[in-house]
Amino acid sequence: MTVERADSYVDNTFEDFLDDLEELLAQPSISATGEGVDECTELVTQLCLAYGFDDAVTVSTDGQPSVIAHAEAVDPNAPTLLIYGHYDVQPVDPEQWTSPPFEPTRRAGPDGRERIYARGAGDNKGQWFAHLCAVKAWSEADDIPVNVILLLEGEEESGSPNLGTVVREYADVLAADLALVADGPIDTSGTPHVLMGARGMLYVQIDTEGPNRDLHSGNYGGPVPNPAWELVRILASMKDENGHVTIDGFYDDVRPITDRDREALDQMPFDAEAVKEDLSVDHFTLGPGESYLEQLLYYPTCNIAGFTSGYGGEGTKTIVPSKAQVKMDMRLVADQDPDDIWEKYREHVHEHASGAVDLEVSRLGTMSPQRTPLDHPAADSVMAAVANAWGAEPILKPTLGGSLPTAVFERELNLPVITVPYANEDENNHSPNENLALDCFRNGIRTTIRLLAEFADGERE
């Protein structure tokens, strides 16, 4: 069978795949600074052409460029799979790394499994490169059974500000039947999972300013307004004692939880005591939802990401600070609109402001939520492919706890989107010593090989 021949090709060529992956990882591509981006897009197009794609082009944007590549099936009626990934990576602090971040190094991890250590290994170069390896294996074993479109952006680590424009302008080129994403780690239990969505995000900031300088708290404290207290009071108004967000209308558009959703929740492994021990916390906070996982996956959040004001050094400094700032993120769920939540948030802040200090509310970034129904027909094909490739039944989840720009494909192309992470649960994405376990990389290749076969058969039924 073709899948077995493709697997055999992977086994015989795996070292060559790793060599090419290491060349890709050695090329910096930091979207925040632009370092190495042009060189990386050139390398990416060369790799696509060498790995069985018929064409690969670089698409300019107002920021960092994207790459679009096509691998055509022989059958003109074959379905089309759109695969999304990103070639850009997070900035690095080399001093915090055991080996240089852009000098890929193979060594055993803490569990003894061999890994590649490099920035971008897991997030996201290693994961989308697994798709290239699968296309190469299929093209060597037989004709590719489906059309494959690969879209790689260069700004995911900077919030994907131009992805929507690219998808909108190239909608005809990107037309497909399903969008697939490999990003993030597998489940913390070490089991693969299939994610049918991603939470959105609204990132905001409030700045308050009182006196024109820091003041002696004995000489001025009391009658002079304190901008830190202003923020504390406003923040306290945003949640009640049960952990529910009190911003008017915050939960209005949250998609109701279905019986199928609850079935999925019941099937997800979760060890509450192990999580508490790992995080050194005694209990979880209250909020909407009957369980930790329900609260995490089906309800939005209102989180304080950072609070800055006054003196935070050693010892004491008795002052009334002149300024205070808070940064907040709200993880949004299916059917919530970041624009709508922004307006409600801003109204709440101004309604609860005292007017005693100057106050400014800023919107720093947004990403829309996306969720494909758990009972979508494509889910069965994806679950079957993952189970066969990993030798373990995957966990089906309604959404990723974090955020990915998957809503763009749902909104602009009207596509169902499914995410299947290929990286190990301890990939250290965004952190020093980012890595990709070689067995996960191999399983990722095997998954895509089977996804192409399953998707072809499923669409023809």
- The DSSP H or E segment spanning 155 is none
Position 137 pLDDT exceeds 90: yes
* SS3 state of residue 325: strand
Taking the whole predicted model, whether its pTM rises above 0.85 is answered as yes
Question: pLDDT tens-digit profile of 350-408?
Answer: 999 999 999 999 999 999 999 999 999 999 999 999 999 999 999 999 998 889 999 99
Listed residue (391, 382, 395) closest to 452, CA to CA: 382
pLDDT class of 421 with cuts at 50, 70, 90: very high
Average pLDDT of the segment spanning 422-437: 96
Apex CA 118: angle with CA 115 and CA 120, to 5°?
105
Average pLDDT of the segment spanning 115-142: 97
Task: With beta carbons less than 8 A apart as the criterion, state whether 222 and 286 touch.
Answer: no
Q: Report how far apart the first and last C-alpha atoms of the chain are (Å, whole number).
A: 20
Question: pLDDT tens-digit profile of 241-265?
Answer: 999 999 999 999 999 999 999 999 9
219 CB neighbour count, 10 Å cutoff: 10
Average pLDDT of the segment spanning 313-323: 97
Listed residue (388, 369, 390) closest to 442, CA to CA: 390
pLDDT given at position 460: 46
Domains present along the chain, CATH in parentheses? 2-198+370-460 (3.40.630.10), 200-254+300-367 (3.30.70.360)
Listed residue (108, 150, 37) closest to 448, CA to CA: 150
Position 268 pLDDT exceeds 70: yes
Average pLDDT of the segment spanning 163-179: 97
Position 457 pLDDT exceeds 90: no
pLDDT given at position 458: 67
* Whole-Å CA distances, 157 to 20, 154, 238, 430: 23, 8, 29, 9
* Whole-Å CA distances, 83 to 41, 177, 297: 17, 11, 24
Average pLDDT of the segment spanning 188-202: 95
The DSSP secondary structure of 257-308, one letter per residue, reads: PPHHHHHHHHHS---HHHHHHHHT-S-PPP-SSSSHHHHHHHS---EEEEEE
Apex CA 414: angle with CA 410 and CA 419, to 5°?
40
pLDDT class of 459 with cuts at 50, 70, 90: low
Position 461 pLDDT exceeds 80: no
Cα–chain-centroid distance for residue 3? 30
Strands 80-86 and 178-181 come out as parallel
Q: How far apart are CA 427 and CA 430, in angstroms?
A: 9
pLDDT given at position 29: 97
Question: pLDDT tens-digit profile of 60-99?
Answer: 999 999 999 999 999 989 999 999 999 999 999 999 999 9
Q: How far apart are CA 36 and CA 23, in angstroms?
A: 13
Question: pLDDT tens-digit profile of 212-222?
Answer: 999 999 999 99
* Whole-Å CA distances, 110 to 120, 188, 191, 192: 19, 15, 18, 20
* Residue carrying structure tokens 């205070």: 324
Q: How far apart are CA 279 and CA 269, in angstroms?
A: 18
Average pLDDT of the segment spanning 230-236: 98
Listed residue (432, 437, 428) closest to 109, CA to CA: 437
pLDDT given at position 445: 98
pLDDT > 70 fraction of the chain, expressed in percent and rounded: 99
Position 275 pLDDT exceeds 70: yes
pLDDT class of 456 with cuts at 50, 70, 90: confident
Strands 114-117 and 105-108 come out as antiparallel
Supply 391's token pair: 């030798």
Which of 10-14, 101-105, 252-256, 276-280 has the weakest average pLDDT? 276-280
* Residue ranges in 56-162 assigned as alpha helix (H): 125-141
pLDDT given at position 124: 96
Q: How far apart are CA 112 and CA 437, in angstroms?
A: 10
